Amino acid sequence: MLLLGCLGGSRASWSSRDGLLWDEAGRVGVPDLAAQGWERTRIDESDLAFLRPGADVIAMRLRCGQAEPSTPLRWQSRGLWLGIPRSDFQSREILWKGRKAFEMTAESDGLAVRTLLIEASSSCRLELAHVAQVGADTATADFERFLAAVQLGPAQ
């Protein structure tokens, strides 16, 4: 897939608790989509990835201690978009559950791509990527439900 290979960095380990998969330090909990019929898959450089065959992919990575807190999220997110021309995507800064976040969306090669970089804490960033076929009826709603279920530990 276009950008998912760009989720570089070290892998966090995740364990199941209260219906979510949590990183080892309890900073981030994400829905276990395998319990909802998705396939857990491996995508180079991501911590977790889920595939719904014939539909879409959601991948994520937790990065801690790698970026200066003063580096804008816009610049930290640029690695998620390697290979997609800058003119093809839209970007915006948002607040996500009260946290700073940077969102980018695009359509390229028949795929709808959305990334979200969330400031999970003062030293951690959660990178999320969603890829689906353009026009997939349920893809946007599925990703929104996934995002709504993500839990972040206390800001540090």
Asked if residue 116 lies in contact with residue 125, where contact means CB atoms within 8 angstroms, the answer is no
Domain boundaries, the chain: 4-152
Structure tokens given for 15: 């364990």
Tell me how far CA of residue 14 lies from CA of 17, 28, 49, in angstroms: 10, 9, 12
Structure pTM? 0.80
pLDDT digits over 77-107, tens only? Answer: 555 555 566 667 788 999 999 998 989 888 8
**In whole numbers, what is the pLDDT of the chain averaged over residues?**
79
Give the C-alpha separation, 63 to 124, whole Å. 5
pLDDT digits over 107-131, tens only? Answer: 888 888 888 999 888 788 899 999 9
pLDDT digits over 23-50, tens only? Answer: 888 889 999 999 889 999 988 878 899 9
CATH of 4-152 given 3.30.590.10, 3.30.360.10, 1.10.10.60, 3.40.1000.10: 3.40.1000.10
Give the C-alpha separation, 119 to 115, whole Å. 13
Give the C-alpha separation, 64 to 58, whole Å. 20
pLDDT digits over 123-153, tens only? Answer: 888 999 999 988 877 778 889 999 999 999 7
**Predicted pLDDT of residue 10:** 45
The band of 11, judged by pLDDT with boundaries at 50, 70 and 90, is low
Burial 88-106 (b: 16+ CB within 10 A, else e): ebebeeeebeeeebbbbeb
Helix or strand run (H / E) with residue 139: helix 139-149
